[in-house]
Amino acid sequence: MKKMKKYFLVLFVLFSSASLSGQNFNDALRLSEPGIVSNARALSMGNAYTAISNDLSAANFNPAGFALIRKLEFNIGLNYNNYGNNVTFLGSKRELSNNSSKLNQVGFVFPVATYRGSLSFALGYNQLKDFNRALSYEGFNQNNNSLIQDLTSYNDDIAFKLALSYPLYFLDPKTKKMVYDKDTTVIKGKLNQRGKTIQDGGINTWFFGGAIEVEKDIFVGGTINIISGEFNRNKEDFEEDIFNYYPSSVLLDPKEPASADFKSFYMNDIVNWDIAGWDAKLGVLAKLNEMLNLGITIQFPRTYTIKKTQTIFAESRFGNASFKLNPPLEEATEFDIRTPYEFTFGTAFKNKWLTLSADAKLIDYTSMELTAGLDKWARTQRNQDIKELFRTVLNFNTGAEYLLNELGLALRFGFIYMSSPFKDDPADYDKKYITSGFGYLISKNITLNVGYVYGWWKDFGDNYGSGIARTYQDITVRNLITSLNYSF
């Protein structure tokens, strides 16, 4: 009879978000939502760079800007990121942060001598996105719900093998035999719940780009990006009977004497992605006059192939015994995700001392799509979820740069506003970033740029179920990017 549980385990793999989670809309969003990492100058100007793009970061913003570069140029940059999360769970607060430091940009721009106009090519590496995240929670859940009960509701083997649940049977009137019905558990909430999740990794691109001046002061460019990266998540959850609601007189499995005097349940869910893909971007930049630029870009959908491995370790402890998931539950899957188009419009005003810039980016998140992996029916359901849950957004970036030529110094400020992609989210869930920085001319050909960003927004997550074990999160992000530009 128990063999039927394998079928339910497969369903659990596909549909549960608490443990063995199949690919879903969160995976598509993780890859589709733009990151903010760029070079130090662009970031300190709020990434409002579509109508500027006169350095290596044109690969990120507007490849037409490569044609504005008249000298051979080398750029290298480092990114430090701090992600802080202040979590409220069942009235209790906990805070956790996670740091990362990475090379975020390196590459060359090669101008080509031309009889008229300009022509340039670029080659390099960019960090497209950082997956650095952290979350910690703890609180006593006095209600009738728990992760154990959630696992049991899927009739999975985790709770069963740890003597936390047991099967129910019914008499089949036709065959006169006992037939497996479902799993049940004695646990009815009243547990202390705590846990921690750490994420890291990122998306990187190796790009080749070029741009040409097709008419006087009108530039067209494009880039091809080869994408690689990784995503790692380590999630730990504990449930503990700290008030002895399940004493030695209570068996969680009636056929297992060692399941008396329940103490705790622990589950460690480890996910690793190997990310590969490609994309392309086209851009146009026009100098309307000596003071005003306009820029337009089209980011074509990125196509990602994800090779995912997931391993779950779990253990239960009782008064005189413990049970472990042995061997750990392991799964390897592969799936493809296609991200939305991104359309960006930018303008920049410049005089002798001051540059002001602004960008607007349009993204239709309902066009995210799982294109391979799962069966056709399940994939259709996930894509339908995307269309029902997400919306089209317009993100805004503004920036300013003020030159102090006598000091060889440039002061920069900016603001980034990224609307939540979920329908009906309030403004608290939109991502806001204040940026600042400076550039210093070390010598005639060498410039040091430093950019700093502070971001904040709210979020929430469900440890299991929907709305019954929810973490309310106040998130802050700090980035410090330093880059060095050398013009030959």
Give the chain's end-to-end CA distance (angstroms, integer): 75
Q: Is residue 18 scored above 80 in pLDDT?
A: no
**Per-residue model confidence (pLDDT) at position 25:** 84
Confidence at residue 115, expressed as pLDDT on a 0 to 100 scale: 77
The token pair that represents 399 in the structure block: 């920036």
Q: Which of 2-11, 166-175, 312-321, 378-387 has the lowest mean pLDDT?
A: 2-11
In the chain, % of residues over pLDDT 90: 87
CA-CA distance, 388 to 382, in Å (whole number)? 10
In tens, the pLDDT along 147-184 reads: 999 999 998 789 999 999 999 999 888 888 999 999 99
Of residues 4 and 339, which shows the higher confidence score?
A: 339
Provide the pLDDT for residue 1: 33
For 402-438, b/e burial (b = at least 16 CB within 10 A) is ebeeeeeebebbbbbebbbbeeebeeeebbebebbbb
Give the pLDDT band (50/70/90) at residue 23: low
Element (DSSP H or E) covering residue 390: none
Q: Residue 21 carries which DSSP code? A: P
What's the pLDDT tens digit per position in 373-409?
A: 878 888 899 999 999 999 999 999 999 999 998 899 9
* pLDDT score, position 42: 96
Q: What pLDDT score was predicted for residue 375?
A: 83
Q: What is the pLDDT of residue 376?
A: 86
Residue 486 burial by Cβ neighbours in a 10 Å radius (0-12, 13-18, 19+): middle
Per-residue pLDDT, 12: 36
The alpha helices in 115-252, defined as continuous H runs, are 147-153, 157-161
345 by Cβ neighbours in 10 Å (0-12 / 13-18 / 19+) ranks as: middle
> With bands split at pLDDT 50, 70 and 90, how would you rate the model's confidence at 22?
low
Would you say 59 and 209 are in contact if contact means Cβ atoms under 8 Å apart?
A: yes
Which residues does 438 contact at the CB level (< 8 Å), separation at least 6?
44, 409, 410, 411, 412, 449, 450
- Mean pLDDT in residue range 219-226: 97
Q: Is 15 helix (H, G, I), strand (E, B) or coil?
A: helix
pLDDT of residue 5: 35
Confidence label for 114 from pLDDT (cuts 50, 70 and 90): confident
Rounded to whole angstroms, the Cα distance separating 348 from 294 reads 7
Q: What SS3 class is residue 263?
A: strand
Is the pTM for the entire model greater than 0.75?
Answer: yes
d(CA 277, CA 231): 14
Residue 19 has pLDDT above 60, yes or no: no
Q: Taking the CA of residue 330 as centre, how many other CA atoms within 13 Å lie in the half-sphere pointing to its CB?
A: 5
pLDDT in tens, 185-202: 999 999 999 999 999 999
For the cut 60, the answer to whether the pLDDT of residue 347 exceeds it is yes
| Contact in structure between 146 and 139 (CB atoms under 8 Å) | no
**pLDDT tens, residue by residue, 411-434:** 999 999 999 999 989 999 999 999
Does the pLDDT value for residue 71 go beyond 50? yes
Residues 32 and 30: their CA atoms lie apart, in Å, by: 6
Burial class (CB in 10 A: 0-12, 13-18, 19+), 294: middle
Instruction: Domains for the chain: give ranges and CATH numbers.
Output: 4-487 (2.40.160.60)
Query: What confidence tier does 367 reach under pLDDT thresholds 50, 70, 90?
Result: very high
Q: What is the mean pLDDT of residues 223-237?
A: 97
The dihedral over CA atoms of 460, 188, 20, 95, expressed in degrees to the nearest 10, equals: 30
The better pLDDT of the pair 23, 20 is held by 23
pLDDT value at position 400?
98
